[in-house]
Amino acid sequence: MRTKLSSLLAGIGLAAAASMPAIAHHAFGGEFDPNKPVLLKGKIITIEWVNPHAWIHLEIPKADGTTPCQYTPDAKCEEWMVEGGTPNTLLRRGITKESLAKGTEIVVDGYQTRDHSLSRANGRNVTFPDGRKLFLGSSGTGAPTDGADPADAGRGRGRGRGGF
Ligand SMILES: [Cu+2]
């Protein structure tokens, strides 16, 4: 009986998890700084294609970079981690593992973490070498309505993007 009950409970737990909306994870403001927009141009070192967020690791060539770049010969780089939406939402927008292949140079604009010492950001848009610009973020997290998220269209724009 005990076994039956616990497997029943486990089943209910799984069903609840599966029906939870994808946007129910963390709020933007808890982790990221809406007043600290960043523009990152670099090559993809690796991606973590995992829920609830895909993470893109980029190497950014920097004069004072700490590690040798993998894709830019004779240069030093700084590694940045960029948070995107779930792999599923990215796929629906046309962002695939293949388009994020290692060594691909992309431009990402987003917002840095509240802890400015971390090289970490919430991605808004990604621009690919062929010029395609796609929304990289999660919808409904409370991120600034900066025009990046097509789902914000009906709500109008909030604050501007400052420098860019
Ligand atoms: Cu989240």
Q: What is the pLDDT of residues 87-104, one digit of tens each?
A: 999 999 999 999 999 999
Q: What is the pLDDT of residues 3-18, one digit of tens each?
A: 565 565 555 555 555 5
Q: Ligand 1 centre from 12 Cα, in Å?
A: 23
Per-residue pLDDT at 25: 65
Q: What is the pLDDT of residues 135-161, one digit of tens each?
A: 999 888 899 999 999 888 765 455 444
Q: Ligand 1 centre from 124 Cα, in Å?
A: 13
Instruction: Say how many Å lie between the first and final Cα of the chain, rounded.
Output: 63
Per-residue pLDDT at 163: 33
Q: Ligand 1 centre from 53 Cα, in Å?
A: 6
pLDDT tops 50 at residue 19: no
Side chain identity at residue 58, one-letter code: L
155's CB contacts (< 8 A; 6+ apart) are 145
Per-residue pLDDT at 24: 55
Q: Ligand 1 centre from 6 Cα, in Å?
A: 29
pLDDT tops 50 at residue 164: no
Q: Ligand 1 centre from 113 Cα, in Å?
A: 13
Q: Ligand 1 centre from 25 Cα, in Å?
A: 4
Per-residue pLDDT at 139: 87
pLDDT tops 90 at residue 123: yes
Domains of the chain by start residue, with CATH: 36-139 (2.40.50.140)
Per-residue pLDDT at 8: 56
Distance separating alpha carbons of residues 85 and 61, to the nearest angstrom: 25
Q: Ligand 1 centre from 157 Cα, in Å?
A: 22
Q: Ligand 1 centre from 138 Cα, in Å?
A: 7
For 152, the 3-state DSSP assignment is helix
